[in-house]
A and B are shown apart, each in its own frame.
Chain A
Amino acid sequence: MKVGLFVPCYVDQFYPQAGIATLELLEKLGVEVEFPERQTCCGQPMANSGFSHLTGDCDELFTESFAGYDYVVAPSGSCVLHLKEHLHSKKNPSAAEDLRGRIYELVEFLTDILQIKSLKARFPHKVGVHQSCHGLRGLHLSQMSELVAPGFSKPEYLLNFVEGIELISLNRKDECCGFGGTFCVAEEAVSSKMGKDRVSDHVQNGAEYITGADLSCLMHMEGILKRQKSGVKVLHIAEILNAGE
């Protein structure tokens, strides 16, 4: 099995350690991983702003970069959802369409494709899980609180393999953090307030770390935590699943 690692633009430039943890974790699990270097962005920042007609070049680049792999894995639910729903190619339409079915967010790749039943990791801390909306309601990484259906959580299933970890519970288990791409500046007041409220739910319930499968939300919450000079930190789930002794 050969996996193409997609490291979204902002993860590449701000959170390289999450990309590294993803790579190392997959390798630990016996997967052959490559990082195609011509990759840039999934196109979501433009599309969600209403400019999906400008994403053509991004799509072509993505299709070219990843068409040869069995799977594409990325440490970001939001980018993965966008690609699954919107990746198109004029040059190579069938390759893009085929690729849409082989793109996975890291967590779902571990639970659904690798179907891992154990993990060697240790992280003796109190951790709050942030359910990012696109991972939750788009990729169904966990059951959505609105639906009348059996509960499950793929991120928590994985985190429960980690030795010493204590998952805290939240007052509102899957409310949005308010990041929303350009929303975070266009609607600064509401976005910041949503972020503050989400962070305070974790802090009040005793989290030392906030984790999740989407760094954009974590970046938003980190921005608020830092401004509040809080000691609570954010970590991508790959970093916890890859944490050693």
Chain B
Amino acid sequence: MVKEETQHKGLTEHSGLADIFNRDEQRVNWHDETLWFVRSKRDKAAHSLPEWELLRETASQIKHNVLSDLDTYLQQFEEQALINGVTVHWAADAREHNQIVHSILKKHEINRMVKSKSMLTEECHLNEYLKEHGVEVIDTDLGERIVQLAEEPPSHIVLPCIHKKKEEIGELFHTHLGTAAGESDPQVLTEAARQHLRESFLTRRLALTGVNFAVAETGEFVVCTNEGNADMGSHLADVHIASMGIEKIIPRRKDLGFFLRLLARSATGQPITTYSSHFRKPRAGQEMHIILVDNGRTVQLGREDFRNSLKCIRCGACMNTCPVYRRSGGHSYHNAIAGPIGSILAPNLDMKAYADLPFASTLCGSCSNVCPVKIDIHDQLYKWRQVLVKEGHVSPVKAMGMKAMAFTFAMPRFFAFAGKAGRVVMKYLPFVVSNKLNPWYKEREMPKPPKESFREWYKRERR
């Protein structure tokens, strides 16, 4: 139902999609509480380390160094990877990335593969591309497999099916994996997925993984999972492809000590993910490829106000803490990466299509505070708003209203005169437009206009 409705005009924006999400208040409560639970676990983990803020600051500075010398690090990484016996590819955009993956598949005459979680391949829409070219892709992260069976995109970068209830997952598994009707016990469902995916791991000859960190100094890359799916896939496959955005580089192996201490604690409150796998060379007889992908990242690097967004290590903490994300769901952001970080990354790729996202925030600032690499997320949301207005991506009606408001506020006498009994504020502040059709009134009352304004009182009493 939701899918059909989103086809209608106006419901392709965050506010419209969030409105649909909010029709079931109990479900919103559940979604909010589930993610708040994750935020609370993050707090507990962070507060167990007195050096937490120092770690964040250091990680942020390391990433700043990376951005400031990225070309050197990329070449160093490539050089080391080649020495390690790894093939290195460069992809300017999503299309080229997908073509490279497909060419490797073709070379080995493979048409079935496994993939562990990679937000980059979501960003590049790799699965759709490969499907069109007759390649079957099985996502092996449990959450990703669930949304894949449901034919939906992930709604969260770390918890892909956090929007789904266990009963719905039970139904999907009943249809696709043959579990008993009505079975919704997470233990039982996970076991069914384990058996199903083990068969995939054992039979697929090519595995694609994402990359959490790539070390320039050694040419190795680190992949973090809890399930072990990246390792099950890659250690059993003849060919391992690792896709990474160019910003995943870190200078030295020892820098992992900072990032791995921050990543899982920020993401889920775990002290570390179960597996932090360091891939440096292909195993004997295996072929290993790394694809370095730009897809807009160098453009973002050139936007001074927004380049810090490239520090992101994809922990998802900003989503878990975001009061808007928790109450609108990941799909309302209509982008591979949802939430606050998605809202500052997406306009870089397409300002027009994602002009709504920087406005889907109260600018409360909690995101910036939980960010393990101290990205000034809420300040960037504010700055994107200015850019989007200047570039003409805001409705003319809104622009007119803003001009009228600015005019009024520039005229003290007019303001004072018209302001009697709250008329100016009622007219120009959008949240108090005196009209029963105003969305304010749906669930809220207006304050009662007082007999006199402060300035009237002041005139009478103090002058």
Q: Which A residues have a C-beta under 8 Å from some C-beta of B?
A: 7, 9-17, 19-20, 23, 35, 37-41, 43, 45-55, 57-58, 61, 133-134, 136-138, 144-149, 172, 175-176, 178-197, 219-220, 222-224, 226-227
Question: Measured between alpha carbons, how far is A223 from B444 in the docked complex, in Å?
Answer: 4
Question: Measured between alpha carbons, how far is A47 from B439 in the docked complex, in Å?
Answer: 21
| Contact A10:B402 (CB < 8 A) given known A16-B454, A50-B388, A146-B369 | no
| Contact A16:B453 (CB < 8 A) given known A41-B409, A193-B28, A227-B443 | yes
List B residues 156-215 near A (Cβ within 8 Å): none
Most buried by B among A14, A35, A39: A14
- Closest residue on chain B to residue A184 by CB atoms: B431
| Contact A16:B450 (CB < 8 A) given known A180-B362, A188-B442 | yes
B386 touches A189 (CB 8 A): no
Name which of B12-20, B63-71, B125-133, B287-295 contacts chain A.
B12-20
B406 touches A49 (CB 8 A): no
Name which of B217-225, B302-310, B336-344, B414-422 contacts chain A.
B414-422
B409 touches A48 (CB 8 A): no
Judged by a CB distance under 8 angstroms, whether B334 is at the interface is: no
Judged by a CB distance under 8 angstroms, whether B425 is at the interface is: yes
The residue that B431 contacts in the complex, of A13, A144, A181, with Cβ under 8 A, is A181
The residue that A133 contacts in the complex, of B365, B431, B457, with Cβ under 8 A, is B365
Judged by a CB distance under 8 angstroms, whether B153 is at the interface is: no
Judged by a CB distance under 8 angstroms, whether B447 is at the interface is: yes
A176 touches B406 (CB 8 A): no
A61 touches B410 (CB 8 A): yes
The residue that A227 contacts in the complex, of B19, B387, B445, B457, with Cβ under 8 A, is B445
Judged by a CB distance under 8 angstroms, whether B90 is at the interface is: no
| Contact A184:B323 (CB < 8 A) given known A53-B390, A138-B365, A189-B18 | no
Question: Measured between alpha carbons, how far is A96 from B421 in the docked complex, in Å?
Answer: 31
| Contact A145:B402 (CB < 8 A) given known A13-B422, A14-B450, A50-B386 | no
The residue that B446 contacts in the complex, of A133, A137, A223, with Cβ under 8 A, is A223
- Closest residue on chain B to residue A39 by CB atoms: B412
B425 touches A14 (CB 8 A): yes
A54 touches B406 (CB 8 A): yes
| Contact A195:B406 (CB < 8 A) given known A11-B454, A13-B424, A53-B386 | no
Hey, which chain B residues are within 8 Å of A58, CB to CB?
406, 409-410
- Told that A23-B458, A40-B412 touch, could you supply 15 new A-B pairs with CB distance under 8 A? A9-B425, A13-B422, A13-B424, A49-B359, A49-B385, A57-B410, A134-B365, A137-B365, A172-B36, A176-B366, A185-B433, A188-B443, A220-B444, A223-B444, A223-B447
A224 touches B365 (CB 8 A): no
Question: Measured between alpha carbons, how far is A186 from B15 in the docked complex, in Å?
Answer: 7
- Closest residue on chain A to residue B393 by CB atoms: A50
Question: Measured between alpha carbons, how far is A54 from B407 in the docked complex, in Å?
Answer: 9
Question: Measured between alpha carbons, how far is A147 from B362 in the docked complex, in Å?
Answer: 20
B410 touches A189 (CB 8 A): no
| Contact A51:B406 (CB < 8 A) given known A7-B454, A35-B458, A193-B25 | yes
B410 touches A48 (CB 8 A): no
- Closest residue on chain A to residue B399 by CB atoms: A51
Hey, which chain B residues are within 8 Å of A196, CB to CB?
443
Closest CB pairs A-B (n = 10) = A180-B362, A223-B444, A57-B410, A50-B385, A188-B439, A50-B389, A146-B369, A137-B365, A176-B364, A19-B454
Hey, which chain A residues are within 8 Å of B409, CB to CB?
9, 40-41, 43, 57-58, 61
Question: Measured between alpha carbons, how far is A9 from B362 in the docked complex, in Å?
Answer: 20
B111 to chain A, nearest CB (A): 43
List B residues 415-463 near A (Cβ within 8 Å): 415-416, 419, 421-422, 424-425, 428-433, 438-440, 442-447, 449-450, 452-459, 462
Question: Measured between alpha carbons, how far is A35 from B456 in the docked complex, in Å?
Answer: 11
B52 touches A148 (CB 8 A): yes
Question: Measured between alpha carbons, how far is A19 from B425 in the docked complex, in Å?
Answer: 16
Hey, which chain A residues are within 8 Å of B25, CB to CB?
193
Question: Measured between alpha carbons, how far is A98 from B415 in the docked complex, in Å?
Answer: 26
The residue that A192 contacts in the complex, of B419, B422, B429, B442, with Cβ under 8 A, is B442
Question: Measured between alpha carbons, how far is A213 from B327 in the docked complex, in Å?
Answer: 25
B359 touches A186 (CB 8 A): yes
Judged by a CB distance under 8 angstroms, whether B108 is at the interface is: no
| Contact A180:B447 (CB < 8 A) given known A37-B412, A148-B46, A189-B15 | no
B406 touches A184 (CB 8 A): no
A223 touches B440 (CB 8 A): yes
B386 touches A37 (CB 8 A): no
* Selected A-B contacts with CB under 8 Å, 20 pairs: A7-B454, A7-B455, A9-B424, A13-B425, A37-B412, A50-B388, A51-B389, A55-B406, A57-B410, A137-B369, A144-B366, A144-B369, A146-B366, A148-B49, A148-B50, A172-B36, A189-B328, A194-B324, A222-B447, A224-B443
Most buried by B among A19, A48, A190: A190
Hey, which chain B residues are within 8 Å of A179, CB to CB?
362, 431
Judged by a CB distance under 8 angstroms, whether B47 is at the interface is: yes
- Closest residue on chain B to residue A38 by CB atoms: B412
A146 touches B321 (CB 8 A): yes
Judged by a CB distance under 8 angstroms, whether B382 is at the interface is: yes
Hey, which chain A residues are within 8 Å of B410, CB to CB?
40, 57-58, 61
The residue that B364 contacts in the complex, of A9, A17, A53, A133, with Cβ under 8 A, is A133
A175 touches B323 (CB 8 A): yes
| Contact A37:B416 (CB < 8 A) given known A12-B454, A146-B366 | yes
Question: Measured between alpha carbons, how far is A38 from B422 in the docked complex, in Å?
Answer: 17
Q: What 1/0 mask marks residues of chain B from 382 to 407 whose CB sits below 8 Å from any chain A CB?
A: 10011111100010001100110111
A9 touches B429 (CB 8 A): yes
| Contact A188:B449 (CB < 8 A) given known A11-B454, A35-B462, A180-B363 | no
The residue that A45 contacts in the complex, of B388, B429, B450, B453, with Cβ under 8 A, is B429
List B residues 347-383 near A (Cβ within 8 Å): 359-366, 368-370, 382
